């Protein structure tokens, strides 16, 4: 069974008029939408990694084979030393320095005397000599064994002396700073075009350090700005190009979605949340990007819109994320397969199990496509990270959690999902219970209209669930004064006949406004309220209008006094309900139920509505109308078919 592709966004009451004459308003409207697309590109650029290669993907462990394609240097870059190498060289340089001491003026003696603490420090640092600067700024190097302490002088000569050498801290710091500044952090260069590593080669410590150097060099190039690195700018242009293609698709194939800024913002907000999450995960660990439930994009879009839009938006989102990936084709291929499966399997979200089943299919798609593609690219499973399958499982769990996200987006953008529609069709709800108790005849009429309209909607591939729900609520306004409507009078006197035709017509017409009031009191969605306000369109209350015309003449009767306020139906679904409502009500007044009488009645009612222009704002085609005629006739024939008369057993006295 085919399902309806369009869902609730086409039924909001604030849909724009597409034949608007204000060019200025249209210009600014398109400009605002274009700015939204540019904003998406800017946000994606802000979270774009500041180096083209993914650090975690480049840092394959030493001793493991290189799992990716041949890597060639795209520019000249130095090979940086490791932190351990730099620290070792610093230690070697500092240990080779000769500490500088200054001779204290006025303490010149035949001995060079250091304090005991200074001597112990020099010995602990394994120094063999020191440099002594005289007051005349001349320096000489003296072996440490020729330097005395007050203790050694006393033991050798019996004289008591005080230290006459003082650590020249300023000179020592300057020497250290000069030496360390001249220490090079690099050890060679890699030339542009030079091969770094080929696929399958074992990553050696030297190669590993070259990869680290490449990442560091690219990061420095990106932070320098200017014209040295344009990857971020070109990424912005690519994202803007993707957004442009998305806009073209919406303008050509989904103009109603493009026309309403709030709905456009919904689609782009969902996409940018996924993009930002994916890019943020890439800053930590490349593998964790697979946790991001990118399948939310097609799933949530399918729930509120249609399959084609869902898949197209998924393509755009996956492409934006893939462009920032170290393996864009690999990532894009896997995500496209998963998104396609999500759209294909999510034919109905009215059941809890459906989303869980879709999550299972997406999980299976991730596992199979990732494994097959990895083997295709590497020729072996040895380098595959087993963690990836655990991340896929987390992704599937997050997909099931989309139920909560659906509810959140419903409230934010006043959308209605099939889950909500199923809940509204529950006739055991408080509103439906009150409806059945207060206006039982109208309630039964609504059930019959719901069945008729559902069959008709399926025949032309309209949204059957939406029509069914709208039909259940279209006449709830009659709960206010149920006795004024014939289906609730049980053969009693009609109180409207005691009023003037105009007054009676206004009371009948008022059930539309009352229905809207009750619907808003119970917080029914706008899409359902649209059915309530349009199920009579701008048609006439013909019984009272015709009666008034017979009494006064057509020239003395104002049709506006007997017309519903509208608006007219704006969707196929609303038009189907209008037809089903009028046909079901009229069928109750037939004196005989034959194929001819039912066919004539259906044709008359639909022709009357078409002649009065009730369907001019909808997208019903002539083929749709003819199909609806046929379905209504077939359904009514089944409802009012003649039953065979069962033969009775002969009575005892007749034997």
The region of weakest confidence among 47-56, 82-91, 338-347 is: 47-56
Report the range out of 57-61, 185-189, 447-451 with the highest average pLDDT.
447-451
pLDDT tens digits along 157-191: 888 888 888 888 888 888 888 888 888 888 888 88
Mean pLDDT of 467-480: 96
User: Is-cis flag, bond preceding 630, omega within 30?
Assistant: no
Q: What pLDDT sits at residue 10?
A: 41
The band of 375, judged by pLDDT with boundaries at 50, 70 and 90, is confident
CA dihedral 205, 211, 216, 218 (to 10 degrees): 170
Query: b vs e for 248-271, b when ≥16 Cβ sit within 10 Å of the residue's Cβ?
Result: ebbeeebebbbbbeebbbbbbebb
The predicted structure's pLDDT at residue 497: 84
For residue 33, what pLDDT band results from cuts at 50, 70 and 90? confident
Pick the CATH number of 425-639 from 1.10.3210, 1.20.1420, 2.60.40, 3.30.450: 1.10.3210
Q: Which residues make beta-bridge pairs with 140?
A: 132
Residue 284 confidence (pLDDT): 55
pLDDT at 51 (0 to 100): 46
Confidence grade of residue 655 (pLDDT, cut at 50, 70, 90):
very low
Higher pLDDT, residue 325 or 360: 360
Average predicted confidence (pLDDT) for the chain: 84
> What is the pLDDT at residue 17?
42
Three-state secondary-structure class, residue 493: coil
Q: What is the pLDDT of residue 16?
A: 43
| 300 or 5, which is more confident | 300
Q: Beta 186-190 vs 139-143: how paired, if at all?
A: unpaired
Residue 12 has pLDDT above 50, yes or no: no
CB neighbour burial string for 164-199, b if at least 16 within 10 angstroms, e if fewer: bbebbeebbeebeeeeeeeeeeeeeebeeeeebbee
Strand pairing category for 186-190 and 100-103: unpaired
Kindly tell me if the per-residue pLDDT of 57 is higher than 60.
Answer: no
Helix axes 307-323, 261-282, angle to 10 degrees: 40
pLDDT at position 589 over 50: yes
Summarised one tens digit per residue, pLDDT across range 349-359 is: 666 678 889 99
Q: Which residue has the higher pLDDT, 516 or 289?
A: 516
Please check the confidence at residue 407 and state whether its pLDDT lies above 90. no
Q: 13-27, 159-173, 620-634: lowest mean pLDDT where?
A: 13-27
Residue 225 has pLDDT above 70, yes or no: no
Between the alpha carbon of residue 477 and those of residues 446, 504, 560, 575, 614, the distances in Å are 12, 16, 21, 19, 21
Q: Confidence class of residue 53 from pLDDT cuts 50, 70 and 90?
A: very low
Is the pLDDT assigned to residue 330 strictly greater than 90? Answer: no
pLDDT recorded at residue 417: 85
Give per-residue pLDDT as tens, 254-264.
887 888 877 88
The pLDDT of residue 59 is: 63
Q: Show me where the domains of the chain are located.
A: 8-47+232-418, 85-181, 425-639
The predicted pLDDT at position 350 comes to 67
Which whole number is the average pLDDT over 563-577? Answer: 94
Helix (H) or strand (E) holding 515: helix 501-521
84 pLDDT higher than 90:
no
pLDDT score at 429: 92
pLDDT at residue 393 greater than cutoff 90 = yes
* pLDDT band at 4; cut points 50, 70, 90: very low
- Range of lowest pLDDT (202-211, 219-228, 251-260, 426-435): 219-228
Alpha carbons within 13 angstroms on the beta-carbon side of residue 499 total 13
What is the predicted pLDDT for the residue at 623? 94
Please tell me the predicted confidence (pLDDT) of residue 3. Answer: 41
3-state secondary structure 294-308: CCHHHHHHHHHCCHH
Classify strands 165-167 and 100-103 as parallel, antiparallel or unpaired.
antiparallel
Residue 157 vs residue 286, higher pLDDT? 157
User: Once rounded to an integer, what is the mean pLDDT over residues 306-330?
Assistant: 89
**Residue 324 to residues 65, 203, 214, 238, 606, Cα–Cα distance (Å):** 24, 25, 17, 10, 56
Of 99-103, 171-175, 221-225, 408-412, the range with the lowest mean pLDDT is 221-225
pLDDT cut 70: percent of the chain above it: 87
Q: Which of 32-46, 359-373, 489-503, 632-646 has the lowest mean pLDDT?
A: 632-646
Share of the chain above pLDDT 90, in %: 38
Q: Of the ranges 8-22, 122-136, 542-556, 571-585, which one carries the lowest mean pLDDT score?
A: 8-22
């Amino acid at each position: 069974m085919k399902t309806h592709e369009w869902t609730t966004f086409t039924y909001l009451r604030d849909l724009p008029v597409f034949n608007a004459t204000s060019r200025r308003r249209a210009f600014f409207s398109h400009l605002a939408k274009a700015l939204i697309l540019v904003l998406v590109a800017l946000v994606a650029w802000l979270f774009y990694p500041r180096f083209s290669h993914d650090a975690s993907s480049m840092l394959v462990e030493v001793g493991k084979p290189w799992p990716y394609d041949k890597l060639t240097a795209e520019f000249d870059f130095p090979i940086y030393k490791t932190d351990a190498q730099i620290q070792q060289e610093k230690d070697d340089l500092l240990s080779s320095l000769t500490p500088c001491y200054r001779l204290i003026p006025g303490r010149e003696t035949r001995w060079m005397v250091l304090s005991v603490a200074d001597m112990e420090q020099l010995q602990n640092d394994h120094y063999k000599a020191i440099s002594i600067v005289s007051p005349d700024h001349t320096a000489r190097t003296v072996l440490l064994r020729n330097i005395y302490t007050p203790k050694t002088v006393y033991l050798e000569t019996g004289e008591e002396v005080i230290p006459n050498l003082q650590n020249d801290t300023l000179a020592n710091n300057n020497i250290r700073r000069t030496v360390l500044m001249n220490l090079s952090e690099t050890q060679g260069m890699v030339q542009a075009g030079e091969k770094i590593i080929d696929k399958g080669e074992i990553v050696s410590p030297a190669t590993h350090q070259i990869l680290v150097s490449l990442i560091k060099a690219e990061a420095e190039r990106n932070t320098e700005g200017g014209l040295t690195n344009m990857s971020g700018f070109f990424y912005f242009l690519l994202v803007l190009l993707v957004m442009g293609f998305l806009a073209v698709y919406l303008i050509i194939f989904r103009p109603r979605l493009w026309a309403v800024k709030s709905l456009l913002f919904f689609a782009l907000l969902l996409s940018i949340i996924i993009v930002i999450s994916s890019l943020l995960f890439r800053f930590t660990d490349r593998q964790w990007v697979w946790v991001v439930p990118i399948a939310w994009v097609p799933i949530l879009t399918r729930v509120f819109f249609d399959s084609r839009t869902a898949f197209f938006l998924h393509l755009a989102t996956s492409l934006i994320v893939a462009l920032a990936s170290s393996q864009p084709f690999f990532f894009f291929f896997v995500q496209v397969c998963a998104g396609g499966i999500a759209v294909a399997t999510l034919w109905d979200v009215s059941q809890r199990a459906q989303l869980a089943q879709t999550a299972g299919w997406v999980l299976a798609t991730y596992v199979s496509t990732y494994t097959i593609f990895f083997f295709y690219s590497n020729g072996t499973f040895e380098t595959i990270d087993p963690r990836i399958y655990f991340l896929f499982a987390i992704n599937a769990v997050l997909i099931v959690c989309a139920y909560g996200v659906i509810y959140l987006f419903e409230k934010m953008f006043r959308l209605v999902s099939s889950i909500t529609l199923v809940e509204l069709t529950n006739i055991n709800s408080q509103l439906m219970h009150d409806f059945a108790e207060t206006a039982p005849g109208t309630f039964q009429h609504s059930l019959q209209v719901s069945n008729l309209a559902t069959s008709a909607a399926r025949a032309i591939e309209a949204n059957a669930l939406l029509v069914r729900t709208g039909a259940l609520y279209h006449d709830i306004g009659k709960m206010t004064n149920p006795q004024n409507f014939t289906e609730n009078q049980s053969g009693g006197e009609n109180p409207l006949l005691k009023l003037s035709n105009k007054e009676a017509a206004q009371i009948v017409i008022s059930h539309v406004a009352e229905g809207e009031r009750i619907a808003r009191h119970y917080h029914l969605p706008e899409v359902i309220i649209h059915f309530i306000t349009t199920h009579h369109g701008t048609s006439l209350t013909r019984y009272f209008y015709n009666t008034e015309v017979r009494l006064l003449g057509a020239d003395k009767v104002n049709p506006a006094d007997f017309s519903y306020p509208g608006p007219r139906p704006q969707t196929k679904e609303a038009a189907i309900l209008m037809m089903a409502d009028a046909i079901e009500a009229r069928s109750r007044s037939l004196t005989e139920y034959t194929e001819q009488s039912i066919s004539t009645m259906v044709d008359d009612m639909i022709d009357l509505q078409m002649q009065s222009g009730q369907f001019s704002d909808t997208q019903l085609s002539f083929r749709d109308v003819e199909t609806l005629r046929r379905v209504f006739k077939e359904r009514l024939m089944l409802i009012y078919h003649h039953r065979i008369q069962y033969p009775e057993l002969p009575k005892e006295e007749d034997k």
